[in-house]
Amino acid sequence: MPRGSPAPLGTVLVTGGCGFLGYALVRQLLDDSECGQVHVIDRNIGENRHDEANYVEGDISEPSIMEQLLNKIRPIVVFHLASPTFVRGSPVEFFRTNVEGTKTLLRLAANSTSVKAFVNCSSIDIYADPPHVDVNESHPIGVASSYEPYARTKALSDCLVLAANGPQLRTVTLRLSHMYGARCSQQLQVLLDVCAGNALLFQLGTGTSLITVVSVDNAAAAHILAAKALLEPSRAHGKVDGEAFNISDMEPVSFWYHTILFWSAARGRSVADNLIVIPAWASRLIYGFVQWVFWIFTLGYVDPPPSMSSTTLSYALENRTYSPKKAQERLRFRPVSDHDAVITRAVAEELRRREKRKSKQV
């Protein structure tokens, strides 16, 4: 179908469309015969672009920018992906984008004469009080100030989106498991930095903790399924608007198998037998000490690095698995993924990009 011709999705807007998930989602939208024009707004449009999409550089928390854009392009669907990364964001940035930005988008979308569907990218990190085993969407979420800024502001955003659902603007929130795949700006880059050169590699605990993950392509496909279900409820098997859905590859994996696969791919050999194993009790003691030091010397104004956060420790030592049944049943979500092969290709691509950047600097 020629780009711009009448289609069920019509014109769409992707916030944060130059990010990890945004790049994959825009590609799938451009390849979808049921999609019209694809527009992207991002604070940095210098990378992760597709020739057929339309790009605007801007901040979604700026009402004037967003109002002007919505009036100009008149999208039918808004895919809301914009968020600072867990690795790089600050508390102020998290609140500005995830809370204030979401409020702005929802208000403008509700007042728009074109927008009919709003698909929000959320995270399983919003669920309160881990460990979690096969947790479903009814589990409490953590909005208290004691939670880490990323998770708390994503939880607040999640609540705002669900509360905004109504006859004129149908909303849905997708709670993604941790994504992996090519162009990852968080997990992939951190893991490759950790194993650079001949650095010693550490495993915390026994290595038996299970997590749910999702490939970036599966996550993108879920967003498109949700949008189509909002516009045409007959495509779903049950209520979608005003609902939350856990999105994953379905089958849990070992956190340490998942992590070690990145390291092995980066070094070109298995590193599983060359890890220094730190017992769980010692890991908790070390993490607690680091967090205490940060609190004492920064008076609580600076958080420890993400690699030393409570969330990271929880994933390393505890089960964090989430039920995919609701997405399977209502969205008819059927992920397709070759976990190991996707990681191997993603690592190889990132290493090539790093070499290319090095050669330009010489």
- For 47-76, what is the mean pLDDT? 96
Angle formed by the axes of helices 339-361 and 255-267, to 10°? 40
Q: What is the pLDDT of residues 83-140, one digit of tens each?
A: 988 766 688 999 999 999 999 999 999 999 999 999 999 999 999 999 999 999 999 9
Instruction: Give the closest residue to 169 by CA, choosing from 177, 160, 178.
Output: 160
Angle formed by the axes of helices 255-267 and 310-317, to 10°? 100
> Using CA atoms, how far apart are residues 290 and 303, in angstroms rounded to an integer?
10
Q: What is the pLDDT of residues 236-250, one digit of tens each?
A: 999 999 999 999 999
> Using CA atoms, how far apart are residues 242 and 106, in angstroms rounded to an integer?
13
> Using CA atoms, how far apart are residues 176 and 215, in angstroms rounded to an integer?
10
β-partners of residue 117 are 77, 170
Q: Is the pLDDT of residue 6 over 70?
A: no
Q: Is the pLDDT of residue 142 over 80?
A: yes
Give the pLDDT confidence score for residue 222 in this predicted structure.
Answer: 98
The CA angle 282-283-289, to the nearest 5 degrees, is 90
> Using CA atoms, how far apart are residues 350 and 266, in angstroms rounded to an integer?
9
Q: Which residues contact 68 (CB under 8 A, 6 or more apart)?
A: none
- For 279-288, what is the mean pLDDT? 93
Q: Is the pLDDT of residue 291 over 90?
A: no
Q: Which residues contact 50 (CB under 8 A, 6 or more apart)?
A: 23, 26, 27, 30, 38
- For 253-259, what is the mean pLDDT? 96
Confidence band of 294 (pLDDT split at 50, 70, 90): confident
Lookup result for tokens 């941790």: 178
Q: What is the pLDDT of residues 153-175, one digit of tens each?
A: 999 999 999 999 999 999 999 99
> Using CA atoms, how far apart are residues 46 and 43, in angstroms rounded to an integer?
9
Model's pTM, two decimal places? 0.93
Q: Is the pLDDT of residue 4 over 60?
A: no
> Using CA atoms, how far apart are residues 69 and 39, in angstroms rounded to an integer?
10
Q: What is the DSSP letter of 274?
A: G
Homologous superfamily of 10-178+214-248+323-336: NAD(P)-binding Rossmann-like Domain (3.40.50.720)
